Amino acid sequence: MAINSIYFLNAADFTLATAVYLDSYLDNIAPDGFYGNGTITRQQSSGILLTAEDCVGCGVEVSLCAGTSAVDVCCNCDGEIPLAWSFNEISGTGQMVLYVNEIAVETRTASAVGTYFVNVGDEITVSVSTEGCTSPNIKASSSSSGIINGLDCTDFSSVYNSATYFVVSGDLGTTLTLDTYSQCADTCIS
């Protein structure tokens, strides 16, 4: 099944673009495959977009704003959703890397908080690592809570690579939260 996501073009019009990219700097070419905007479809092969073809008559999934009134959906759906994140380095040496659409958007090696704005269709993952744990606190716990919950805990060092959170239209009007932790202790901390 097709997946709706954010991509970048080297032209303002999809019909004029020569390639699809994963980043706004146009450094990372998107994987080969078929891309479409609901009106036309184009195949990318060896990093080059081929001739545009009209989409056949079929239902197209779109992201829409839903609300309680016309004013609500016209004035309160800007599309950006705040992701409030935190990295809590409690002990040991830790690192948090926050990814949106497989691109690192935040990297922290000391406790920090921030907000990053995401859109419907974005994919969020996080990697947390802990090292430098010594006796008696040899259990290295790397974890996250909020929209993604998980933990890796092993002796001396650990790396937690999360599952993926898919931003959906139901997230519009909310603040997503993601708290991450890096800690050495005498037992695993969840």
- At 107-117, the pLDDT tens digits run 999 999 999 98
Average pLDDT over every residue of 92-115 = 92
pLDDT score for 164: 95
Contact between 52 and 35 (Cβ < 8 Å)? no
pTM, two decimals, is 0.59
60 — pLDDT class (breaks 50, 70, 90): low
Residues 6+ apart with CB under 8 A from 42: 14, 17, 34, 35, 36, 49, 50, 51, 52, 53
Q: What are the tokens at 94?
A: 């830790």
pLDDT score for 176: 93
Q: From CA 72, how far away is CA 69, in angstroms rounded?
A: 5
Beta bridge partners of 106: 98
pLDDT score for 70: 66
Q: From CA 133, how far away is CA 185, in angstroms rounded?
A: 8
55 — pLDDT class (breaks 50, 70, 90): confident
pLDDT score for 66: 59
Q: From CA 141, how far away is CA 66, in angstroms rounded?
A: 40
Q: Please identify which residue in the block is written with the tokens 């839903």.
A: 66
The CATH fold of domain 80-185: Immunoglobulin-like (2.60.40)
Contact between 91 and 137 (Cβ < 8 Å)? yes
Q: Looking at the predicted structure, is the pLDDT value of residue 64 above 70?
A: no
Which whole-number Å values give the CA distances from 72 to 76, 154, 189, in the listed order? 5, 49, 43
pLDDT score for 68: 60
Residue type, 25: Y
> What pLDDT, in 10s, does the model give residues 123-140?
999 999 999 999 999 999
> Taking Cα atoms as reference points, which of 154, 122, 8, 76 lies closest to residue 142?
154
pLDDT mean across residues, the chain: 86
Q: Please identify which residue in the block is written with the tokens 């040899």.
A: 138
> For the chain, what are the domain ranges?
8-54, 80-185
Q: Looking at the predicted structure, is the pLDDT value of residue 6 above 70?
A: yes
> What pLDDT, in 10s, does the model give residues 38-48?
788 899 999 99
Average pLDDT over every residue of 155-173 = 90
